[in-house]
A and B are shown apart, each in its own frame.
Chain A
Amino acid sequence: MRSEPLLLDFFELLRSRGVPVTVREWMTLVEAMSKGLVAADLRRFYAIARATLVKHERYYDAFDQCFAHYFAGADAPPALKAALDEWLTAPLPLPQLSEDELAALERLTPDELRKRFEETMRQQTERHDGGNRWIGTGGTSPFGNGGVNPAGMRVGGAGGGKSAIQVAAQRRFRDYRSDIVLDTRQIGAALRKLRRLSREGQREEVDIDGTIAATAKNAGDIEVVLQPPRENNLKVLLLMDVGGSMEPYALLVSRLFSAAHAASHFREFHHFYFHNCVYEAVYRDARMSDALSTVELTRWLQPETRLIFVGDAHMAPYELTAPFGAIDYYVQNRENGLDWMRRVARHFKHRVWLNPLPGRFWAHPTIHALGELFPMYELTLDGLEKAVERLLGLPTPLEERAA
């Protein structure tokens, strides 16, 4: 039997599973229930809880799992249904929190949050109507310790169809999870954040404020002032590992490539291929016949260019550390791969590495070595978003430790 207010531990469960529910959203749900919208119908409760608590389809699956887990249980004895009815339809006092209080609450850890929340609820209810409806002391609470555990029961009348739990347990939204799937559109959305706006180039947009000021100065005779439009000033370089161990990720990498290529908002977008490690040259084509020397690449592209490596960084250690260690026999590298990679890292101030291998497989010497030079992220939507943030950030000090 639960001794806590109903749902508070559901709220915590959601947060512990990575669904970013805030107090404000939780209050919205409480408000919906206090207006009697939910009635004693778990299926409606499911729909309303999801609509008020979850703000991105990527969390639908986690929400469904939590819901199925929390509300799973045997059918409720009919006597309990009345208790649930009463709870769900009873008007609940709503604490009035200011913006600042809400913001402060959102910064707390789950434990602190619960404590603060309970305190707030207790104070607020006392001040507002002297009752003690929320927190379960003395058995007056509609939740928890009165021996009623509405969480564990399935209320009938779900409209003939599947129960909410069955619906939730179907995991219909598994494909929308951000830690698994990446489609072209999602990648495009993530890449769109990669921008830095500035006014450069042709003056072709009317500067309203400037025009008004100039016209006023001109004693009311209209003088039009033009300015260049705001445009993204970012240049992006994509270096992709092809062949060998990257084969299984070919589709994923091609999606990333086509999204980046279609992202029309970059000032410049360049892409090259390599195999396992960059040595003397990178290649304009995936068959690696059209080469551009790595020295030429760094001379041509400014250090401000954002560099995105895509590869598993997984290779035999000698490919990285030994002269002439390249896996392809026609690549004759006098200097070892790590030196070449260091040279690339030293040139590009903003650089990341996207690795299609899940992070738990990164305990490998070459992945580790390259991860020190290039901040490494998983090639998932979460990883890509973090990488984009990193690329926009301030210049990072070079990892000179290994040098």
Chain B
Amino acid sequence: MLLENFTGTDDYIASPELQEAVNVALALERPLLLKGEPGTGKTLLAQSVARALKRPLHTWHVKSTSRALDGLYIYDAVQRLHDSRFQDRDVRDIRQYIRFGALGRSFLADEPSVVLIDEIDKADLEFPNDLLHELDRMSFTVMETGDVHQAKQRPLVVITSNNEKELPDAFLRRCIFHFIAFPERELMARIVAVHHPHVRQTLLDEALARFYWLRTLPELRKRPSTSELIDWIGALVKGGIAEDELTARVPFLGTLIKKEQDLDAVRRRGRGWVR
């Protein structure tokens, strides 16, 4: 069998370790759990993998009220109740009130797909455990009809977590895990180049120096992330800011720092910046 191989895409740069993690998850058909600071590209990875492997992507954005069942299917009892009063449809056919979720659709599809379960930590603590069986066996039963759906092609399941909650051990044991560390300066320069290919090298150097200095400040409640850096450099380019202006101040600071207390902290530090 020729193994599928993921090496990143034009606009997504994956570290070698991340590539290995993706390929192991693909080969072993295990879910891939991605953790990391917000803005390190966890969600983008699933999109990039789907594109690289030419597979359709099914996305499931988890919310605090999400139940594990929602990703498989939803039985619209209220609609059925409603129809029964007005006799719009034949309510004896339960199947027309079953709507499949992202995971359910990927099981039913004829071609292999990528499923993104985004921000699993937003849901209840027990949520990941409720998915164990379905992820292990890649099958589920619609309780209302008794239909069993076995995945025709096992999808690659990518799960992201922002670390808001610890995930249960039983769930972790079944996953391939990768923690996306915050990119070092060299990798960051390549990531920025993908988004802003024409930025001047000298400006980029100054901006990165400033950015990494900001991230070292211990008093910041929320450190600026990759997506904020990209926005900021975009703003610097559009605003026609010259390199030497960056040594004296931080223009458009609001694109990098979003909390009032943190803005104050940076302003207090402003003078003391030595590279």
List residues of A whose CB falls within 8 A of some B CB: 20, 22, 24-25, 28, 31-32, 35, 37, 43-44, 46-48, 50-52, 54-57, 60, 159, 172-173, 176, 184-186, 188-190, 192-193, 208, 212, 215, 220, 222, 251, 258, 385
Known: A51-B17, A222-B85. A22 touches B164 (CB 8 A): no
Instruction: Report the separation of the CA atoms of residues A35 and B29 in the bound assembly, to the nearest whole angstrom.
Output: 12
B178 partner residues in chain A, CB cutoff 8 A:
51
Q: Is B194 an interface residue (CB 8 A)?
A: no
B81 and A51 form a contact (CB under 8 A)? no
A48-B24, A51-B20 known; 4 other A-B pairs, CB under 8 Å? A37-B24, A57-B179, A185-B163, A258-B221
Q: What 0/1 readout, one digit per residue, does chain B (137-179) give for beta carbons within 8 Å of chain A?
A: 0000000000000000000000000011110010011111111
Question: How many interface residues does B have (CB within 8 Å)?
Answer: 36
Looking at A43, A51, A54, A176, which has the most chain B CB atoms within 10 Å of its CB? A51
Closest CB of chain A to B177's CB: distance in Å? 5
Q: Is B28 an interface residue (CB 8 A)?
A: yes
B163 and A189 form a contact (CB under 8 A)? yes
Q: How many A-B residue pairs have CB under 8 A?
A: 88
Closest CB of chain A to B156's CB: distance in Å? 14
B179 partner residues in chain A, CB cutoff 8 A:
56-57, 60, 173, 176
Instruction: Report the separation of the CA atoms of residues A222 and B81 in the bound assembly, to the nearest whole angstrom.
Output: 8
Closest CB of chain A to B47's CB: distance in Å? 20
Q: Is B77 an interface residue (CB 8 A)?
A: yes
Instruction: Report the separation of the CA atoms of residues A276 and B64 in the bound assembly, to the nearest whole angstrom.
Output: 40
Instruction: Report the separation of the CA atoms of residues A28 and B178 in the bound assembly, to the nearest whole angstrom.
Output: 15
Closest CB of chain B to A19's CB: distance in Å? 12
Q: Which 6 residue pairs spanning A and B have beta carbons closest together?
A: A47-B20, A57-B179, A55-B172, A51-B21, A47-B17, A55-B177
Looking at A173, A192, A208, which has the most chain B CB atoms within 10 Å of its CB? A192
Q: What 0/1 readout, one digit per residue, does chain B (67-98) give for beta carbons within 8 Å of chain A?
A: 00000000001000100110000000000000
A222 partner residues in chain B, CB cutoff 8 A:
81, 85
Closest CB of chain A to B160's CB: distance in Å? 14
B174 partner residues in chain A, CB cutoff 8 A:
24
A189 and B164 form a contact (CB under 8 A)? yes
Closest CB of chain A to B36's CB: distance in Å? 8
Instruction: Report the separation of the CA atoms of residues A185 and B165 in the bound assembly, to the nearest whole angstrom.
Output: 10
Known: A47-B17, A51-B177, A220-B84. A251 touches B218 (CB 8 A): yes
B24 and A32 form a contact (CB under 8 A)? yes
Known: A50-B17, A51-B17, A57-B179. A28 touches B165 (CB 8 A): no
Instruction: Report the separation of the CA atoms of residues A113 and B125 in the bound assembly, to the nearest whole angstrom.
Output: 30
Return 29 A-B CB contacts under 8 Å, by A number: A20-B169, A22-B173, A24-B173, A28-B176, A32-B27, A32-B28, A35-B27, A35-B28, A43-B16, A46-B17, A47-B17, A47-B19, A47-B20, A48-B21, A51-B17, A51-B25, A52-B177, A55-B33, A56-B172, A57-B181, A172-B181, A173-B181, A185-B164, A186-B163, A188-B164, A189-B165, A192-B164, A193-B125, A222-B81
Closest CB of chain B to A340's CB: distance in Å? 34
Instruction: Report the separation of the CA atoms of residues A22 and B219 in the bound assembly, to the nearest whole angstrom.
Output: 38
Q: Which residue of A lies closest to B15 (CB)?
A: A47
Closest CB of chain A to B34's CB: distance in Å? 11
B81 and A215 form a contact (CB under 8 A)? yes
Q: Which residue of B lies closest to A172 (CB)?
A: B181
Closest CB of chain A to B218's CB: distance in Å? 7
B169 partner residues in chain A, CB cutoff 8 A:
20
Tell me the B177-207 residues at the A interface (CB within 8 Å): 177-179, 181
Instruction: Report the separation of the CA atoms of residues A207 and B206 in the bound assembly, to the nearest whole angstrom.
Output: 58
Q: Which residue of B lies closest to A57 (CB)?
A: B179
Q: Is B225 an interface residue (CB 8 A)?
A: no
- Selected contact of B28 from candidates A31, A208, A220, CB within 8 Å: A31
B218 partner residues in chain A, CB cutoff 8 A:
251
A28 and B16 form a contact (CB under 8 A)? no
B175 partner residues in chain A, CB cutoff 8 A:
55
B3 partner residues in chain A, CB cutoff 8 A:
35, 37
Q: Is B42 an interface residue (CB 8 A)?
A: no
Instruction: Report the separation of the CA atoms of residues A46 and B19 in the bound assembly, to the nearest whole angstrom.
Output: 12
Q: Which residue of B lies closest to A208 (CB)?
A: B77
Q: Which residue of A lies closest to B172 (CB)?
A: A55
Closest CB of chain A to B97's CB: distance in Å? 13
- Selected contact of A37 from candidates B23, B81, B164, B165, CB within 8 Å: B23
Known: A24-B173, A189-B163, A222-B81. A52 touches B125 (CB 8 A): no
Q: Is B35 an interface residue (CB 8 A)?
A: yes
Looking at B28, B164, B175, which has the most chain A CB atoms within 10 Å of its CB? B28
Looking at B20, B175, B177, which has the most chain A CB atoms within 10 Å of its CB? B20
